[in-house]
Amino acid sequence: MLQLNNITYKKKNKMILNGISAEVKQGDSICLFGPNGAGKSTLLKVMAGLIEPNKGVYKQGNFTSKPVGYIPQQLALFPNMTVKDHLSFYKKMTKQKDREFIEAMLNALSLNEIKKKKVEELSGGMARKLNLAVGLIHKPDIIFLDEAFVGVDLAAKHDMLRWLSLLNEDGVTIVFITHDWHVIHHLAKTLWVLEDGQMLINFRLNSYRKKLRSTSSLTAH
Ligand SMILES: Nc1ncnc2c1ncn2[C@@H]1O[C@H](COP(=O)(O)OP(=O)(O)OP(=O)(O)O)[C@@H](O)[C@H]1O
Ligand SMILES: [Mg+2]
């Protein structure tokens, strides 16, 4: 379990996170939701261990021994390198030897068919999928996604959601930021609503999702 205890983060006397307390259970899928400037990206960075809070305690416990997967909103790709080059580079860097996992991910994200293309030749949606794939190549146990679905069309969104749902069903914990209700509906088990650096709502959607699933199976018969 991850534990956030009274997390406070200030920058130049501006209070960006103001006493946030919550916990993350293994296998959960949490959406951070709220208006622009609410502090979502800052909280995600604290949780991914990229920045230190000024006050409060953040414990990762025995959650994972692997590095976390952090997918930034800005694409972390090299324009002149091909899709294949990116995958080889990150595979080597993370010492990932699980070929089966990588193949499954490339198939799920429909990246196999564009392996020879350079990043500068990719559409926005394809680049987003590659950005996701390189961030997940080491098969992390916990994934942080900062608006990873911006600008992707329905087909690409579907590929990404299906792959992330599969990982989540396999026990991988996901914490993600989105403004897209379609993504929330399909991926979130828990919703955290932030405003002015505070947690307004911490709401479990799991039972709601289960109810929806049983309703849809009833209507299917
Ligand atoms: N490095 C920084 N220096 C000063 N202020 C910052 C810094 N980073 C963030 N802020 C401020 O902190 C507040 C929260 O920023 P943050 O990026 O976490 O919000 P957000 O909820 O992710 O917003 P958005 O939906 O627009 O991405 C904003 O007012 C922002 O201007
Ligand atoms: Mg943000």
Domains and CATH numbers, the chain: 2-220 (3.40.50.300)
Q: Name the more confident of 206 and 219.
A: 206
Terminal Cα-to-Cα distance of the chain (whole angstroms): 39
Average pLDDT value for residue range 1-27 = 93
Question: Which residue is associated with the tokens 């200030």?
Answer: 10
Burial of 45 (0-12, 13-18, 19+ CB in 10 A): middle
Dihedral-angle region of residue 59 (phi above 0 means left; psi in -120 to 50 means alpha; beta otherwise): beta
Report d(CA 139, CA 69) in Å as an integer. Answer: 8
Say if ligand 1 is within 6 A of residue 99 CB. no
pLDDT at 219: 45
pTM of the model: 0.90
- C-beta separation of 38 from 24 below 8 A: no
Distance from residue 109's CA to the centre of ligand 2 (Å): 24
Distance from residue 98's CA to the centre of ligand 2 (Å): 32
Average pLDDT value for residue range 8-27 = 94
pLDDT at 215: 58
Q: Extract the tokens encoding 145.
A: 């996604």
Q: Does residue 216 register a pLDDT over 60?
A: no
pLDDT band at 93 (very low <50, low <70, confident <90, very high): confident
Average pLDDT value for residue range 1-9 = 92
91 DSSP 8-state letter: H
Helix H or strand E segment including 177: strand 173-177
Q: Name the more confident of 220 and 2.
A: 2
Say if ligand 1 is within 6 A of residue 39 CB. yes
Q: What is the mean pLDDT of the chain?
A: 89
Q: Which of 35-39, 64-68, 138-142 has the lowest mean pLDDT?
A: 64-68
Minimal-distance CA residue to ligand 1 atom 4: 11
Q: Which of 27-41, 151-165, 207-221 has the lowest mean pLDDT?
A: 207-221
Q: Which residues pair with 59 in a beta bridge?
A: 3
pLDDT at 221: 39
Q: Does residue 172 register a pLDDT over 70?
A: yes
Say if ligand 1 is within 6 A of residue 16 CB. yes
Q: Which positions ≥6 away from 9 have C-beta within 8 Å?
A: 15, 16, 17, 39, 42, 46, 51, 53, 54, 197
Q: Is the dihedral of CA 27, 65, 42, 182 positive or negative?
A: negative
Distance from residue 104's CA to the centre of ligand 2 (Å): 30
| Tens-digit pLDDT profile for residues 36-59 | 999 999 999 999 999 999 988 877
Percent of the chain with pLDDT strictly greater than 90 = 70
Distance from residue 76's CA to the centre of ligand 1 (Å): 20
Q: Name the more confident of 2 and 193.
A: 193
pLDDT band at 116 (very low <50, low <70, confident <90, very high): very high
Say if ligand 1 is within 6 A of residue 38 CB. yes
